[in-house]
Chains A and B, each alone.
Chain A
Amino acid sequence: MNFSEYLQSISGVAIYPMFSLLVFVIFFIVLSIRVFRMKKEEIIELENMPLNDSITIENK
């Protein structure tokens, strides 16, 4: 007995993978476009955050 037969008994089952694939693909396309269009200065500001966090008063 094949399990896919049981799966077919779910009404509108095709919507699950279609929906999730769509969300997945759209999200990533949008994300990638936006990420690669980020400005260089923004990137530099962001990536230096761990290094700039030590404006702490150095211990004596």
Chain B
Amino acid sequence: MELEKFSYDNKIVRNFAYATMLWGLVGMLVGLWAALELAFPSFNLGISFTTFGRIRPLHTNAVIFAFVGNGIFMGVYYSLQRLCKARMFSDFLSSVHFWGWQLIIVSAALTLPLGFTTGKEYAELEWPIDIAIALIWVVFGINMFGTIIKRREKHIYVAIWFYIGTLVTVAVLHIVNSFELPVSFLKSYSLYAGVQDALVQWWYGHNAVAFFLTTPYLGLMYYFLPKAANRPVYSYRLSIVHFWALTFLYIWAGPHHLLYTALPDWAQSLGVAFSVMLIAPSWGGMVNGLLTLRGAWDKVREDIVLKFMVVAVTAYGMSTFEGPMLSLKNVNAIAHYTDWIVAHVHVGALGWNGFLTFGILYWLIPRMFRTQLYSQKMANWHFWVGTLGILFYAIPMYWAGFVQSLMWKEFTPEGLLKYQFLETVTRIRPMYVMRSLGGVFYLAGVIIMTYNLIATIRQGSLLENEEAEAAPLVKHAKQEKGEHWHRTLERRPVQFMVLSLVVILIGGVVELIPTFLIKSNVPTIASVKPYTPLELQGRDIYIREGCYTCHSQMIRPFRSETVRYGEYSKAGEFVYDHPFQWGSKRTGPDLHREGGKYPDSWHFNHMMDPTSMSPGSIMPTYTWLYDDVLDISSTPAKINAMRTLGVPYPAGYENIANTDLHKQAESITQNLAKEKIQIMSDKEIIALIAYLQRLGTDIKLSKVTTAGNK
């Protein structure tokens, strides 16, 4: 058969590689900054744009979607072309994909520090950016499927299944979680409220880990690890089982982020069961990766690429063992809200995603630039400094998590809580300092790598279009006699996509539908009323400042929590919360029953300078709230939007909402005046105080549901 001549597009791979390096540096630098803010609050700089609550979403979005995102595209664009023996479907679409994605990243880097956020973790970007992400994702999908369809190779290698699974699932997750009602150009409210919002968010949140940080990287592992080791994957059979088991199980696991919360019990148990099952395919994948090196372990000593990959696969194994353990209710009771979770995710992020990306970069750049790596020695330095960085990061965080959790739960013989919340924070501050040091090490490694790779690039020259030739694919319309059904499926990418879509939808539907359709799943509490206009505005300030990054609003039904914070949280209390603000980490105390705990003046002084009320506090100052005037022009639009979402504001209330707002603001100002605090009633701090004083008070007033529970 005549061979067809064509060329692989290396330029687009190079572009994504550059973006991976650039955004990696930025994202990790911001991460280090955030870590320093926790250790030394003065790093918050006292200005709104750089406080932890705004920097932390910037860090998570940058490393997940910018660093890992570009890393995925780099690896996919390289391996897909070669596995399909075809150039990318369209150079134009490749280019649109690349520049579109970078534009999304830049707009995220601008909007997040400015305080434009949906307040949902890892999905903070506001609605116009959400739409852009969906569009660019579709471009990526068309380009990928176009390439698969015009391929010259009969079969579709397992790595590509992982890419297809990723493409489909991320699209579904992103779209379902991003249903939001725009209020203005950069402000929207989640379509879901309270418990439903939490369930959707963590269905998304966990699967962002699963299908953005894991499955595409497993695809890369199945391509680049055999490449680097120059031997086929240990067991191709295992990789098939690995793929289907992961796709099937992962989608159910989300609710393990909501154990002991107001989420219905059955959904929690479902999440736990599937999370525990996940250990099997995850370890199957890890073993498959490591055993690929069977008989080649001597190479690991020499080859820098393999060194990075071995640590990456090992880190994958560790975090996927830890994950199911953390989803057990008794372990979760200790670990949740603490730095243990931070340690867990960073073993995954720094070890698995980071090191695999570095390994691929060290393999890819010299090949594409037709040269040798500039310095093996530097790469070795990077490896050891990076490994040390992971250890210095993870160990103090585990320690901090254990210590703080035990301190939270310790009672004196008299039956009182032994420690104030603040004591548990000051105790672990040295660990925060150590963690920052780990970050410095890790970042130093990445800087060394960047220098090394730039030097490599300079001594070589890019092979923009790599010539190749292959025989065209003869169309097989029918299954060959005696052929395996899965191999038939492997030749049909579109059917393959549909099947994986069905697989993940079953999980999503069973998990989400019952809570959606059945109103009675969330018992309503008569005393729970919509927020007043001033409280609503205050709540939006709470969201804008990212308070949820450090404060939960979800008291679990444990004695240690009800004694410390008050009555545990009920599902019915959150029915007007668009979006929910349960949080996932308690760097500061839970705020669900904050209302009425302290006088207005306490909050006034505390937000101005937290250490004045709580000496040793690591909370940033929020001085701008005392200068900035609350924008009340948005009130009618916000009331209207909330009513559209089902919050029962009376008809026409939007026209008089600001009158009520002024009244409430005046009364808070007068309260403050009694304590000799002079402030104009139109400042943002007044709205925030109104919201904080409202938190959790609906149930306190009624007392009915609490009877018999205390």
> Which residues of A are at the interface with B, using a C-beta cutoff of 8 A?
1-4, 6-7, 9-10, 13, 16-17, 19-20, 23-24, 27-28, 31-32, 34-39, 42-51, 53-57, 59
Contact = CB atoms under 8 A, between A and B. Distances in A.
A34 B506 contact: no
A2 B570 CA distance: 11
Interface residues of A: mostly helix, strand, loop or mixed?
helix
B85 A53 contact: yes
B521 A28 contact: no
Contact of A50 (B159, B466, B485, B513): B159
Given A3-B264, A53-B83, A55-B470, A9 B520 contact: yes
Given A7-B514, A51-B231, 15 more contacts: A2-B265, A4-B265, A6-B520, A6-B521, A6-B523, A16-B510, A16-B514, A28-B245, A49-B153, A50-B83, A50-B227, A53-B83, A53-B85, A56-B466, A57-B469
A32 B521 CA distance: 38
Given A20-B510, A35-B241, A46-B157, A54 B82 contact: yes
Contacts of A45: 155
A36 to B, nearest CB: 6
Given A20-B506, A31-B241, A53-B85, A4 B230 contact: no
Given A6-B264, A46-B236, A20 B79 contact: no
B264 A59 contact: no
Interface in B202-250: 222-223, 226-227, 230-233, 236-237, 240-241, 244-245, 248
Nearest to A2: B265
A42 B106 CA distance: 46
B484 A38 contact: yes
Contact of B157 (A10, A28, A50): A50
A28 B244 contact: yes
A51 B514 contact: no
B247 to A, nearest CB: 11
A27 B83 CA distance: 27
B155 A13 contact: no
B248 A27 contact: yes
17 contacts: A6-B264, A20-B506, A34-B484, A35-B237, A35-B240, A36-B237, A38-B484, A42-B487, A46-B157, A47-B236, A48-B232, A49-B155, A50-B223, A50-B226, A57-B467, A59-B370, A59-B466
Contact of B468 (A38, A39, A55): A55
Contacts, number: 110
Nearest to B79: A50
B20 to A, nearest CB: 21
A26 to B, nearest CB: 12
B477 interface: no
A12 to B, nearest CB: 11
Contacts of A49: 83, 153, 155, 157
Interface of B: 8, 79, 82-83, 85, 153, 155, 157-159, 222-223, 226-227, 230-233, 236-237, 240-241, 244-245, 248, 264-266, 270, 370, 463, 466-470, 484-487, 506-507, 510, 513-514, 517-518, 520-521, 523, 571
Nearest to A9: B520
A44 B244 CA distance: 20
A47 B370 contact: no
Given A46-B157, A50-B157, A50-B223, A56 B506 contact: no
Contacts of A56: 8, 466-468
A57 to B, nearest CB: 5
Nearest to A3: B264
Nearest to B234: A47
Listed from nearest, the 4 A-B pairs whose CB atoms lie closest are A3-B264, A47-B232, A53-B82, A47-B236
A20 B518 contact: no
A9 B370 contact: no
Nearest to A36: B237
Nearest to A46: B236
A27 B244 contact: yes
A4 to B, nearest CB: 6
A6 B267 CA distance: 12
B227 A51 contact: yes
Contact of A24 (B226, B248, B514, B523): B248
Given A6-B520, A17-B510, A42 B467 contact: no
Contacts of A7: 264, 266, 514, 521
Nearest to B227: A50
Nearest to A31: B244
Contacts of B466: 56, 59
A2 B641 CA distance: 33
B616 to A, nearest CB: 40
B518 A10 contact: yes
Contacts of B233: 47
Contacts of A20: 506-507, 510
A16 to B, nearest CB: 5
A9 to B, nearest CB: 6
Given A31-B244, A49-B153, A42 B484 contact: yes
A38 B237 contact: yes
A40 to B, nearest CB: 10
B157 A9 contact: no
Contacts of B232: 44, 47-48, 50-51
B309 to A, nearest CB: 14
A59 B247 CA distance: 39
Nearest to B85: A53
Contacts of A10: 514, 517-518
Contact of A31 (B222, B240, B470, B521): B240
A34 B485 CA distance: 8
A17 to B, nearest CB: 7
Contacts of A1: 523
Taking each of A2, A31, A32, A37, which has the highest tally of chain B beta carbons within 10 Å of its own beta carbon?
A: A31
